[in-house]
Amino acid sequence: MKNKVAILYICTGNYVIFWENFYKSFSRHFLPGYQKKYFVFTESNDASLQTANDVRVIYQKKLGWPYDTLYRFRMFYSIDEQLKDFDYIFFFNANMICLQDIDDRILPNEQERLVVVKHPGFFDKDRSLFTYETNPQSLAYIPDDKGEYYFMGGFNGGIGKYYRELIKTLKENIDYDLQTNKLIAIWHDESHLNRYMLDRSPKILSPAYGYPEGVELPFEQKIIILDKNRFGGHNAMRGIEKNRPFIGKIKKILHFFKI
């Protein structure tokens, strides 16, 4: 029997333009042969979301910056019952494209339990340059003498039951920081993810699995992160500015990558 894999994906607001080609590339290349189900959090009625039986759309209104990212684990926790039947669960940022086959060698064993990716901006940097949360009042706080790696927030996952524990814990920690401590960690959910991994030994993937478009790194490109500046910039994507991106740009980039 094929292992069941849940893929969590958020595309509220302008980010829906990335969905069609994310789905196309990951369906083809990510864990080929596995039974995959996509859980898409969006308020969009875009036709591309209604074309496949392996896609389940969960209504999610746009919350505005930074809550669209800060509350991602709250979104995931809202479908906890639906995730119980999956052997593995993964989250990916909206603007990612899978460029080549990624097989089950990325899956964690029972000792590792979870999967994280070294941040492409910090994989070769000294610990002193890591942008961990430094406020001791935050549940994401990491002391100066702790931490060996800095992980990106845009790709993580693991064995189903353990990733569901991560979702619940990070949702609760983020809520506590905001409601009780009246603060938001420096890099939102990513800060809390790094703190969570401090006490664990996950499978660690290289920046090849989170390779920024237009950057030269000493890794093979396996999963690329599209440059948001090519689609109006971060503020436009977040809805802070009115400069909307165009789907035609996505299609041109897909053609370039031959997906």
Q: Which residues are catalytic?
A: 190
Bridge partners of 65, per DSSP, are none
Using alpha carbons only, what angle is made at residue 30 by residues 82 and 119, rounded to the nearest 5 degrees? 95
Would you say 178 and 184 are in contact if contact means Cβ atoms under 8 Å apart? yes
Neighbouring CB atoms inside 10 A of 38's CB total 21
* Beta strand pairing call for 203-205 and 223-225: unpaired
Looking at this protein, which amino acid is placed at residue 182? K
Question: How far is Cα 211 from Cα 221, in angstroms, rounded to an integer?
Answer: 6
In 3-state terms, the chain is what percent helix, strand and coil (to 5)? 35, 20, 40
Looking at this protein, which amino acid is placed at residue 184? I
Q: How far is CA 229 from the centre of its chain?
A: 19
Pull the structure tokens for residue 244.
């909307």
Q: How far is CA 26 from the centre of its chain?
A: 13
In 3D space, the residue among 235, 253, 252 whose CA is nearest the CA of residue 14 turns out to be 235
Buried b (16+ CB within 10 A) or exposed e, 52-85: eeebebbebebbebeebbbbbbbbbbebeeebee
